[in-house]
Amino acid sequence: MKANRPSDHHAVLIIGGGIGGIKAALDLSEARKDVILIDKSPAIGGVLTQLDRTFPTNNCDICTLSPNLSAGARQKHIDLMPLTQLTGVEGEAGNFTITLTTAPRYIDTEKCTACGLCLDKFPKYIRFTPGLDHRAPTCMRYPRVTPHAFSVKRDQCSDFETLASVCPAGAIIQGDKAKTRQLHVGAIIVAVGADVFSPEALDNYGYGKLPNVVTSLEYERIMSASGPTFGELQRPSDGCQPRRVAWIQCAGSRGQNKGEVSYCSSVCCMFALKEAIVTKERFKEDIETTIFYMDMRTFGKDYEMYYQRAKEDYHVRLKRCRPHSIIPADPDGALKISYVEDGFGTLEDETYDMVVLATGFRPSAESTGLAKVLGIELNDHCYARTGSFNPVATSRPGIYACGVFEAPKDIPETLVQASASACLAGKHLLPAATADSTEPVYPPEKDITGELPRIGVFVCDCGQNISGTVDVPDVVNYAGLLPHVVVSRSVGYGCSRESLDIIRKTIADKKLNRVVIGGCSPRTHESLFQDTLMQAGLNKYMLEIANIRDQNAWVHADRPEDATRKAKELIRMASAGVVESHPLIDHILELNQSALVIGGGVSGMNAALELAEQNYTVYLAEQAGELGGLARQIHRTIDGSDVPTYLSGLMGEVRAHKNIEVILNAVLVDHEGLPGMFKTGFQIAPQMYYRQIEHGVTILAVGAAPNRVDDYLLDKHEAVCTQMELGNLIHTAPDKVSDWENVVMIQCVGSRTPDNPNCSRICCQAAIKNALWLLDSNPDLNIYILYRDMRTYGFLEDYYLEARRRGVIFVRYTPESPPVVEAGGAGVHVTFNEPMLGMKLMVVADCLALSTGFKSDDESTEDLAKIFHLTRTGDGYFLEDHTKLKPVDMSVPGFFVAGTAHSPKNIGESITQAHAAAGRAITVLSRNLINMGASVAQVDKERCATCLVCVRACPYDVPFINEDRYSEIDPSKCHGCGTCASECPAQAIQLTRFEDRPMMAKLEGLLERKL
């Protein structure tokens, strides 16, 4: 499918075309490294393509992923091989020899236009859009599949010749055969994901027998605009809209029964909350939603607040228990859920119209075989076994695992691992591979000087996202009548490859010289459409995007007529504006290929080391007088790995590395510049001299602060300490610890509170770690862990089970009746409710450990945010550019975040994010040029009155009065803010792309009150 196959010696093999694999491929290709992306299915996309909306922003995913997919297909560095499996690996990191086997598709993807004629005539033979029946063979799993072609189910096809004859493009190949080839790659990333559990095996829930019991993924499909019911919520038995829907969590996970796995699938709690919220959003008081759960595991960044919103704003009912059965309640399809009320022991029934089983992950069927081929170890649960201090490195050097293949996880964490593994894999490539040989080539730009405007208007329906509210045909007709509009048409998902092709062809056929897209936000999609214009030989700035989705259809869903009228206005505005646009040239500058890493903890050091290893100069600035950060106070991880040894090794490597300069006692004071050419100033103690560092990118790894509370006698009684201090005590005073009889731990102290509403994520595991560690040296010790929800996500559940098995007593408390702690001699008296027994208990504890968790290091993040102009969350953590799809990029280009400065996380997770940040940084640093865009201030020297207003107004001191007596603005220094343009009293300055003419034209277009 691609003319120039990457030189395979220098490529990375990525197995799995889900979101993780795609992200890793995109990162590597952005860093100009070649990628071979294989997937056993006919199209890439993975599970994500079946989701409707994702948490926590409730965005539709198709649109956020689609640009990635289309971009992925276009990237010259990526060789996409669908229907392909790995059948052999030899050699070692840096030089693997791999064998790939590609199954026959029977369709030439280069010729197939996805016209659908073959599917119409022979629906049985062709793989097509999935219905709710998840068992149906799927290929074109969603309407914007990449590669954009059908495939043939050969085994079901009896009359191939007739089939082949229906294809007008002649794309059907009867004699297509499996191909095997050997290639050389430097590294391998395994991103095969996992399977979604099918709950037929759970006979108590009746799945497969009771039509109205569905899995959460099926529910997602039912709610999806591109799903089988086109977004109508209908229960499968009779197509009626349900009035009561229940979710049952942990279906098949966290269990010991037949068909169940013991680990936690990590994502199901958020998944169920999301589905319940979206349902409530759509149907409000017409529907009741109930979630049956054991522990609500909303441990991710801002997830706890999402949980609280579900409860408080959306009135999602939450019922803590594990139902033991679902049986039919009536002949019409209603269902009865039976459960034992927590603490009462009585059996209760509730009736629902529909029940959703929150089914989690199962290791992919291919994973055992694949692991054998790769020569990597799997853990007891058949997921990839990886390192404690490098969670994406498998047991075989040069092979990395990311995403759910490593452990169950959600999309942002998958993307972090994908970027991390891309970073680490990139290290094994020969330097030659990074040479820039294959930048995208565009046809020469057409000269449109003197042409009258010829505008093409393309209106997206974005599935139901736009057309669900806006009358798209009406808007298209209207746009067709606007001045200079030559063609107006709807394009479905405008950002899909198919639509982009249509746009490109239309530009050529109709000799368009300007384009208006009625679609989503230009913030996210402008570059994609600009790229399409360039491919059509148009200057990319001959484009206007009317944001008729995010700023219209989505916000006026309750007023379709108004939304349609506004869509017309916005398109009229865009088209009036685009008439005044003119070709512009981007300004390109040289890039400083060094990085500044702020924060010398584990995250900062790992990011620095990875960059240094890949030959970039790194300045590692630390405010304290020594490296190490918070990890200096940690002795072991939950799996028993030795933190001090790791840390001293890491610090040694960092200090010794020739590409790293460590700057201690450095206080950030100022910052200026642009991505690729930043200047950041530090005041260095104790001499307090000033030093300015020039760098291309910045990684923030300043960490979070251990929380400390004034509660439960902490700092007032010697028997009370934090969980981290307890770890210290176990390590340094084993004798003392071995004398103890009772230890109590209280969870969520200072987290999940009004002051600090989020979950600190690490406390549950830290408590269990310390409990098990204590039991190692003192097996008779009584340990009570008082918790609200145990959040031992993924395989951490194993340790939770082990702790229970070894006698740790877990007692749940509610924030309304927290434990009471009183001093009692050398120990403390802890009184708490025991809900199972329904009574109060008092324990005389020799030690009370409080899980105080993290809070953001407000002092440092506030200063940094101010100096760097970065955004923070309400609780003071750095806010990434996109919580879902850009988890380490900051909103300011050239900034990346790693570690607990982003959100609470454990050491392994911090290291992964550090690697991811380094990988993302490399995508910037690997280029030697930076594009400043075309938005710069330009002076009309004839008009300039040399009044100096611009000279004084410019925040960057760029304009000056030159020898020819007019104000001169160096486009390479101009940041494009436009302040000078709006202050110039002679109207001599125009900010390109925002000149007076298009701005006024837009106003006139918008406000012309004729519809």
Partner 1 sequence: MEEFDPVIVAYCCHYCAYTAADMAGSMRLGYPPGIKIIRVPCTGKVDPLHVMRALMDGADGVLIAGCLKGDCHFKNGNIKALKRTAYLKQWMDEIGIESERVEMVMMSAGMGKQFVRIVTDFLDNIRLLGPCPKNTNQQSNRILSELV
Partner 2 sequence: MITAERKPLDEIASCIEPYNRILLVGCNECVTVCAAGGRKEVAMLSSALQMVSMKQGKTLSVVEMTLERQCDPEYVESLALHIDGVDAVVSMACGCGVQEIARRFGQVRVFPAVNTKFMGASERAGVWAERCQGCGDCLLGLTGGICPIARCSKRLMNGPCGGSGDGKCEISGEVDCAWHLIWERMKALGIEDRYEEVISAKDWRPARGGGPRKIIREDLQ
Which spans of this chain sit near partner 2 (rule: CB under 8 A)?
A: 943, 945-949, 952-953, 984-988
Give the shortest CB-519-to-partner 1 separation in angstroms: 12
What is the residue whose two structure tokens read 């019409």? 332
Any contact of residue 315 with partner 1 (CB under 8 A)? no
Which residue, 738 or 871, has its beta carbon nearer to partner 1?
A: 871
**Binders of partner 1 among 521-560, rule CB under 8 A?**
521-524, 547, 549-552, 554-559
Q: How far is the CB of 133 from partner 1 (least distance, A)?
A: 30
CB of 590 to partner 1, least distance (A): 22
Q: Which positions from 268 through 287 interact with partner 1, judged by CB under 8 A?
A: 281
User: What phi and psi, each to the nearest 5 degrees, are found at residue 467?
Assistant: -70, -15
Convert 87-121 into a string of H (helix), E (strand) and C (coil).
EEEEEECCEEEEEEEECCCCECCCCCCCCCHHHHH
**Closer of 842 and 945 to partner 2 (Cβ):** 945
Q: Using CB under 8 A, which of 534, 584, 663, 953 touches partner 1?
A: 953
Q: How far is the CB of 986 from partner 2 (least distance, A)?
A: 5
Pairwise CA distance, residues 784 & 786, whole Å: 6
Helix axis angle, 216-223 to 268-283, nearest 10°: 30
Letter for the amino acid at 206?
G
Tokens encoding 139: 């290929």
Of 166, 149, 101, which is closest to residue 1 (Cα–Cα)? 149
Q: Does 580 bind partner 1 (CB under 8 A)?
A: no
Site string for partner 1, 427-466 (x = CB under 8 A): ----------------------------------------
- Tell me: does residue 584 bind partner 1 (CB under 8 A): no
Q: Is 886 in the site for partner 1 (CB under 8 A)?
A: no
Residue 961 binding: pick among partner 1, partner 2, none (C-beta 5-8 Å cut-off by kind): none
Which one among 866, 928, 931, 960 touches partner 1, defined by CB under 8 A?
866
Residue type at 2? K
Question: Residue 665 burial (CB < 10 Å; 0-12/13-18/19+)?
Answer: middle
Of residues 298 and 547, the one with the C-beta less far from partner 1: 547
Q: Is 938 in the site for partner 1 (CB under 8 A)?
A: no
Instruction: Give the residue with the Cβ less far from partner 1, 181 or 866.
Output: 866
Residue 699 interacting partner from partner 2, partner 1, none (CB closer than 5 to 8 Å by kind)? none
Closest contact distance (angstroms) between CB of 999 and partner 2 is 12
Answer with the entry of partner 1, partner 2, none that 985 interacts with (C-beta below 5 to 8 A by kind): partner 2
Please report whether residue 471 would count as binding partner 1 according to CB under 8 A.
no
**Strand 839-845 vs strand 827-834: parallel, antiparallel, or unpaired?**
antiparallel
Nearer to partner 1, 801 or 934 (CB): 934
Rounded Cα gap, residues 218 and 224, in angstroms: 10
Least Å distance between CB 923 and partner 1?
Answer: 22
DSSP-derived letter for residue 68 is: H
Three-state DSSP state, 900: helix
Q: Does 511 participate in binding partner 1 (rule CB under 8 A)? A: no
Give CA–CA dist 402/917, Å, rounded. Answer: 15
Residue 947 interacts, among partner 1, partner 2, none and using kind-specific CB cut-offs from 5 to 8 Å, with partner 2
Would you say 884 and 412 are in contact if contact means Cβ atoms under 8 Å apart? yes
| Whether the Cβ atoms of residue 77 and residue 179 lie closer than 8 Å to each other | no
Taking CB within 5 to 8 Å according to partner kind, which of partner 2, partner 1, none is near residue 1004? partner 1
The answer to whether 245 and 353 have CB atoms below 8 angstroms apart is yes
Q: Answer with the entry of partner 1, partner 2, none that 377 interacts with (C-beta below 5 to 8 A by kind).
A: none
- The three-point CA angle 592-597-603 to 5° equals 140
Least distance from C-beta 61 to partner 2, angstroms? 46
Closest distance of CB 953 from partner 2, Å: 7
Nearer to partner 1, 315 or 866 (CB): 866
In angstroms, give the least distance from the CB of 997 to partner 1: 10
Question: Using CB distances below 5 to 8 A depending on partner kind, what does residue 981 bind out of partner 2, partner 1, none?
Answer: partner 1
293-312 footprint of partner 1 as x/- string (CB under 8 A): --------------------
The distance of closest approach from Cβ of residue 976 to partner 1 in the complex, given in angstroms and rounded to an integer, is 6
Of 510, 514, 517, nearest in space to 455 by CA: 514
Binding partner of residue 826 among partner 2, partner 1, none, CB cut-off 5 to 8 Å per kind: none
Find where tokens 């530090």 sit: 682
Measured in Å, how far apart are the chain's first and last C-alpha atoms?
47
Q: Which partner in partner 1, partner 2, none is near 949 (CB below 5 to 8 A by kind)?
A: partner 2
Which of 413, 387, 404, 406 lies closest to 299 in space, CA to CA?
413
**Closer of 126 and 567 to partner 1 (Cβ):** 567
Q: Does 495 bind partner 1 (CB under 8 A)?
A: no
34 touching partner 1, by CB under 8 A: no
Answer for which of 869, 948, 952, 970 binds partner 1 (CB under 8 A) is 869
3-state secondary structure of 206: coil
How near is the Cβ of 565 to partner 1 at its closest, in Å? 7
- Say whether residue 855 binds partner 1 (CB under 8 A): no
Q: Is the CB of 431 or the CB of 985 nearer to partner 2?
A: 985
Burial (CB count within 10 angstroms: exposed 0-12, middle 13-18, buried 19+), residue 806: middle
H/E element, 916: helix 907-925
If one asks whether residue 991 binds partner 1 (CB under 8 A), the answer comes out as yes
Task: For residues 340 and 324, give the distance between their C-alpha atoms in angstroms, rounded to a whole number.
Answer: 8
Distance (Å, rounded) from C-alpha 705 to C-alpha 901? 9
Q: Please list, in sequence order, all residues whose beta carbon lies within 8 angstroms of the beta carbon of residue 487, skipping any fewer than 6 positions away.
A: 456, 457, 480, 506, 510, 512
Stretch near partner 1 under the rule CB under 8 A, chosen from 145-153, 414-422, 423-431, 863-871: 863-871
Rounded to whole angstroms, the Cα distance separating 689 from 475 reads: 63
Q: Are strands 720-722 and 847-850 parallel, antiparallel or unpaired?
A: parallel
> Taking a C-beta distance cutoff of 8 angstroms, is the pair 350, 292 a contact?
no
952 binding partner (options partner 1, partner 2, none; Cβ < 5 to 8 Å by kind): partner 2
CA–CA dist 475, 546 (Å, integer): 12
Write the burial class of residue 199 (CB in 10 Å: 0-12 exposed, 13-18 middle, 19+ buried).
Answer: buried
Q: Binding of partner 1 at residue 975 (CB under 8 A)?
A: yes
Q: Name which of partner 1, partner 2, none residue 1009 binds, using a CB cut-off of 5 to 8 Å depending on partner kind.
A: partner 1
From the list partner 1, partner 2, none, which binds 948 (C-beta under 5 to 8 Å, kind-based)? partner 2
- The residue assigned the tokens 């979101």 is 19
Name the packing angle between helices 268-283 and 303-312 (round to 10°). 40
Between 284 and 943, name the residue whose CB sits nearer to partner 2. Answer: 943
Which two structure tokens, joined as six digits, stand for 410? 């959600």
Give every CB contact of residue 475 below 8 A, 6+ residues apart in sequence.
459, 518, 548, 564, 567, 568, 571
> Of 229 and 979, which CB lies nearer to partner 1 in the complex structure?
979
CB closer to partner 2 out of 432 and 948: 948
Please give the sequence-ordered ranges of beta strands (E in DSSP) within 592-702, or none if there are none.
Answer: 594-598, 617-621, 660-663, 666-674, 677-684, 689-695, 697-700
Choosing among partner 1, partner 2, none, which partner's interface includes residue 565 (Cβ < 5 to 8 Å by kind)? partner 1
Number of residues that bind partner 1 (CB under 8 A): 57
Which DSSP helix (H) or strand (E) runs through 821? strand 820-824
Task: Please tell me whether residue 420 binds partner 1 under the rule CB under 8 A.
Answer: no
Q: Which residues contact partner 1 by CB under 8 A?
A: 57-59, 281, 521-524, 547, 549-552, 554-559, 562-563, 565-566, 569-570, 573, 866, 869, 871, 873, 879, 891-892, 935, 953, 955-956, 975-979, 981-983, 991, 994, 996, 999-1000, 1002-1004, 1006-1009
